């Protein structure tokens, strides 16, 4: 675990992360270290800037790091162009619209949502920012286990299997990921066409992007044989 062993101590500033997150970060982020050119990352939830330092240390000088937080004090971490702070709420449509507008054509490679940990805001930020990811980008959310805590939540109450939580929303996105296989293929969405995989870990959800144009083509090897051959041939491999 390079990130844990070598980079988690990069800062004297406070950082709070669950231990297993480092393994997951590395599994989904390591490939960007090989990327040529700039690596654009957004961390929602800056707090005292400890994790910002870890990302800079891990990705090196090619990292263009954006931090987003509702707390105006984060402006002290602003060092454009390498580190840029955006002050506002991830649950505020007008702010998110401005942020996306400000990005213009720029695409984000890595998003990490470690901000409000409230479902309606997580969903709102996801809806605005997911389309701004690069075609092979990754969107990571941590501390998603807050979704199970019925004492939390602002507009909607969190809780196990409560409609409206981010975790329930991401379960529905599993269907959207598979929409090329629906009877009605027109139900495929922009999410279907741009998402490769969804990963669930303890308290984390990760979306990996990849352009897709339809259900994966079958790979057929060998020759059908035996009693069921004719039936199977017609069904699965006409012409073989
Ligand atoms: C868990 S801390 C972030 C920790 C930091 N990522 C780290 O690893 O050290 C959560 C941060 O989210 C911010 N926050 C809370 N609600 C927010 C919202 N609605 N929009 C943006 N940021 C928010 C808080 O001000 C706080 O700094």
Tens digit of each residue's pLDDT (9 = 90 or more) over 10-54: 677 888 788 899 999 999 999 999 999 999 999 999 999 989 999
Ligand 1 proximity of 116 Cβ (cutoff 6 Å): yes
Q: What local confidence, expressed as pLDDT, does residue 223 receive? A: 78
Ligand 1 proximity of 159 Cβ (cutoff 6 Å): no
174 Cβ neighbours under 8 A, 6+ residues apart: 198
Q: What local confidence, expressed as pLDDT, does residue 235 receive? A: 75
Q: What local confidence, expressed as pLDDT, does residue 5 receive? A: 66
CATH topology of domain 2-236: Rossmann fold (3.40.50)
Ligand 1 nearest atom to the CA of residue 17, by list position: 8
pTM here? Answer: 0.93
- C-alpha closest to that of 190 among 182, 200, 199, 180: 180
Residue of 22, 47, 90 with the most ligand 1 atoms within 8 Å of its CB, for mutation: 47
Confidence bin at 154 (pLDDT 50/70/90): low
Q: How far is the CA of 111 from the centre of ligand 1 (A)?
A: 14
- Asked which of 91-105, 109-123, 176-190 is least confident by mean pLDDT, the reply is 176-190
Q: How far is the CA of 114 from the centre of ligand 1 (A)?
A: 6
Give the pLDDT mean for 138-160. Answer: 88
Q: What is the chain's mean pLDDT, rounded?
A: 91
Please state, in angstroms and as integers, the Cα–Cα distance from residue 219 to each residue in 175, 193, 238, following that order: 23, 21, 14
Ligand 1 nearest atom to the CA of residue 15, by list position: 9
Q: What local confidence, expressed as pLDDT, does residue 153 receive? A: 66
Give the pLDDT mean for 194-223. Answer: 93
């Amino acid at each position: 675990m390079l990130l844990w062993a070598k980079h988690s101590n990069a800062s004297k500033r406070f950082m709070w992360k669950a231990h297993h997150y480092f393994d997951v970060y590395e599994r989904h982020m390591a490939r960007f270290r090989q990327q040529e050119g700039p690596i654009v990352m957004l961390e929602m939830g800056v707090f005292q800037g400890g994790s910002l330092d870890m990302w800079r240390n891990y990705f090196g000088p090619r990292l263009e790091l954006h931090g987003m937080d509702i707390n105006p004090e984060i402006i002290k971490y602003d060092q454009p162009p390498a580190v840029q702070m955006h002050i506002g709420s991830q649950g505020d449509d007008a702010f998110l619209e401005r942020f996306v507008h400000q990005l213009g054509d720029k695409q984000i490679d890595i998003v990490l949502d470690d901000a409000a940990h409230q479902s309606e805001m997580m969903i709102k930020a996801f809806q605005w920012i997911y389309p701004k990811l690069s075609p092979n980008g990754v969107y990571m959310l941590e501390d998603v286990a807050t979704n199970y805590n019925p004492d939390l939540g602002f507009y909607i109450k969190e809780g196990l299997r409560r409609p409206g939580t981010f975790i329930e929303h991401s379960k529905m996105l599993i269907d959207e990921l598979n929409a090329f296989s629906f009877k009605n293929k027109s139900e495929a969405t922009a999410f279907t066409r741009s998402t490769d995989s969804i990963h669930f870990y303890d308290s984390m959800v990760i979306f990996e992007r990849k352009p897709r144009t339809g259900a994966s083509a079958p790979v057929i090897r060998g020759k059908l044989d035996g009693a069921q051959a004719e039936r199977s041939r017609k069904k699965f491999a006409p012409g073989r």
